[in-house]
Copies of this chain bind each other. A is one copy, B any other.
Amino acid sequence: MAIPYKFRKLPIEKVFRDPVHQYVHVQHQVIWDLINAKEFQRLRRIKQLGTASFTFHGAEHSRFSHSLGVYEITRRICDVFKRNYSTEKIADGWDDSERLIALCAALLHDVGHGPYSHTFEHIFHTDHEAITVAIITSPDTEIYQILNRVEEGFPEKVASVIMKTYPNPQVVQMISSQIDADRMDYLLRDAYFTGTEYGTFDLTRILRVIRPYQGGIAFAMNGMHAVEDYIVSRYQMYVQIYFHPTSRGMEVVLEHLLHRAHVLYKKDSRFFEKTSQLLLPFLEEDFSLEDYLRLDDGVLNTYFNHWLDSTDPILNDLAARFLNRKPLKSCRFQPDTQMALIDTMKAIVSEVGFNAKYYTGINSNFDLPYDFYRPKRDKHRTQIELQQKDGTLMELSKVSPLVKALAGQEQGDHRFYFPKEMVDQSSQDNYDLFGESYQQFANHIHNGELVE
């Protein structure tokens, strides 16, 4: 065909019905092909929120749907920029020839995620960002081959947007900044699927006030309240959804389970060779990109299912706890003053018969809902800028008292996790023997030393 691949449009625009954005619109052949690439389709089998669906049962959506959403928001931003702020009208405006690269980066920004990323990475030393870049730039992937058809060097350009080294800050900030298409989609999407109203902010209004400037992306001053609302949504989603103690109690189980497998494998690999075929390269700590791309949530869950037949009582029991949703319970504590107390409590857990290494844990979760640029804290942070009528910029927290209150304030907590059996009498079979220890444990909590 005469039209180069880069410019090829679908004969009729294709749409995906999306509960968050109504429709996701695809116009470029390139985007259509990327969505159909097997590395991208694999995201259908990885949940966006990992263990959070154990707390919020609606939150079973995948990274596939989030990726489409980020693409769609980026597409809409490009449309706004092109209509109102194209370089044809405004110096320092938006150059629409950047559109395809922005769309590809948006679509692919999470393509390197694996199952239960956070925990998996911790145990097996993988890195989803590095893998995202590898998928985009490795000649063997379908993704690479599609991108490379656009033009030579295009895969590397797309990767550089994700690595924030791409020269055009407008493109970079669309995908990663404190108010980017990624965050906007996940706040709205996670709110929709968990069924909470906290994450809702007014995307339509944000899209009315967003605008490019020479140094990146800003918002019209009269959109200040819409941006405030977004920041508050972010705050609310973190403290209420992402940091929920129950989901983290499942994460601790998962971490111990994977860790146990890793330990056992080193001693005796035969059981895993029979039951956990696709996990072997990771247990061996020697995996290829191809190995990585075979994994998904279902693969891990299936192996846990196989492990129910293990003769190791810890592997077996933790697998059952994970599959049957038996989270560890928890209480908040202060690491600077209460570590001794935590040690005491671990000792009690051991005393009644649990291996404290696998049945207790510490989980800390913090987020910074917003911060202005502080050279020492995070060199790469871009602050949110509001643009006045005369074109000058004001950093958000300078204008909004609400955001000023949140700026630089980390939200989150430290939690100590332990078996539910420690505080639930109905499940204490050995109460006759260890009643006193159980009592002691409970007292530490109910005295208010530690808070649920």
- Using CB atoms and an 8 Å cutoff, list the residues of chain A in contact with chain B: 15-20, 22-23, 36, 38, 41-42, 44-45, 53-54, 56-58, 60-62, 64-65, 68, 192-198, 200-202, 204, 208, 225, 228-229, 232, 235-236, 239-240, 274-275, 277-278, 294, 296-299, 301-303, 305-306, 308, 320, 323-325, 389-390, 401-402, 404-406, 409, 411, 448, 452
Chain B residue contacts of A61, Cβ below 8 A: 58, 60
Once the chains bind, are A18 and B405 in contact (CB under 8 Å)? no
Once the chains bind, are A192 and B15 in contact (CB under 8 Å)? no
Once the chains bind, are B306 and A17 in contact (CB under 8 Å)? no
Chain B residue contacts of A325, Cβ below 8 A: 36, 41, 44
Cβ of A407 to closest chain B Cβ, rounded Å: 10
Chain B residue contacts of A239, Cβ below 8 A: 225
Nearest residue (CB) in B for A115 is B298
- Cα–Cα distance between A275 and B274 once the two chains are bound (Å): 8
Once the chains bind, are A278 and B305 in contact (CB under 8 Å)? yes
Interface of A is mostly: helix
- Cα–Cα distance between A194 and B390 once the two chains are bound (Å): 30
Cβ of A1 to closest chain B Cβ, rounded Å: 10
Chain B residue contacts of A323, Cβ below 8 A: 38, 41-42, 45
Once the chains bind, are B402 and A232 in contact (CB under 8 Å)? yes
- Cα–Cα distance between A36 and B325 once the two chains are bound (Å): 8
Given A195-B20, A405-B404, decide whether A53 and B57 contact each other with a Cβ distance below 8 A. Answer: no
Cβ of A211 to closest chain B Cβ, rounded Å: 12
Chain B residue contacts of A306, Cβ below 8 A: 277-278
Once the chains bind, are B225 and A324 in contact (CB under 8 Å)? no
Nearest residue (CB) in B for A294 is B305
Once the chains bind, are B57 and A60 in contact (CB under 8 Å)? no
- Cα–Cα distance between A415 and B326 once the two chains are bound (Å): 45
- Cα–Cα distance between A20 and B296 once the two chains are bound (Å): 28
Nearest residue (CB) in B for A222 is B452
Once the chains bind, are B194 and A17 in contact (CB under 8 Å)? yes
**Extra pairs beyond A200-B200, A277-B306, A299-B302 (17, CB < 8 Å):** A17-B196, A18-B58, A19-B192, A22-B204, A44-B53, A44-B325, A57-B65, A197-B229, A198-B225, A225-B239, A229-B232, A274-B277, A275-B277, A296-B298, A297-B298, A299-B301, A299-B305
Nearest residue (CB) in B for A301 is B298
Given A194-B19, A202-B196, A302-B302, decide whether A58 and B65 contact each other with a Cβ distance below 8 A. Answer: yes
Nearest residue (CB) in B for A12 is B84
Chain B residue contacts of A302, Cβ below 8 A: 278, 298-299, 302-303
Chain B residue contacts of A198, Cβ below 8 A: 202, 225, 229
Once the chains bind, are A235 and B17 in contact (CB under 8 Å)? no
- Cα–Cα distance between A44 and B326 once the two chains are bound (Å): 14
Nearest residue (CB) in B for A308 is B294
Q: List 23 A-B contacts (CB under 8 A).
A: A15-B208, A17-B195, A18-B57, A18-B195, A19-B192, A19-B193, A20-B58, A20-B195, A36-B325, A44-B53, A44-B325, A57-B65, A58-B61, A60-B60, A60-B65, A198-B202, A200-B200, A225-B236, A296-B298, A298-B299, A402-B402, A402-B406, A405-B405
Nearest residue (CB) in B for A306 is B277
Query: Of B60, B197, B390, which is within 8 A of A62 by CB?
Result: B60
Chain B residue contacts of A390, Cβ below 8 A: 448
- Identify which of A275, A306, A405 gathers the most chain B CB atoms within 10 Å of its CB: A405
Chain B residue contacts of A232, Cβ below 8 A: 229, 232, 402
- Cα–Cα distance between A274 and B273 once the two chains are bound (Å): 10
Cβ of A290 to closest chain B Cβ, rounded Å: 11
Chain B residue contacts of A448, Cβ below 8 A: 390
- Cα–Cα distance between A196 and B195 once the two chains are bound (Å): 16
Cβ of A292 to closest chain B Cβ, rounded Å: 13
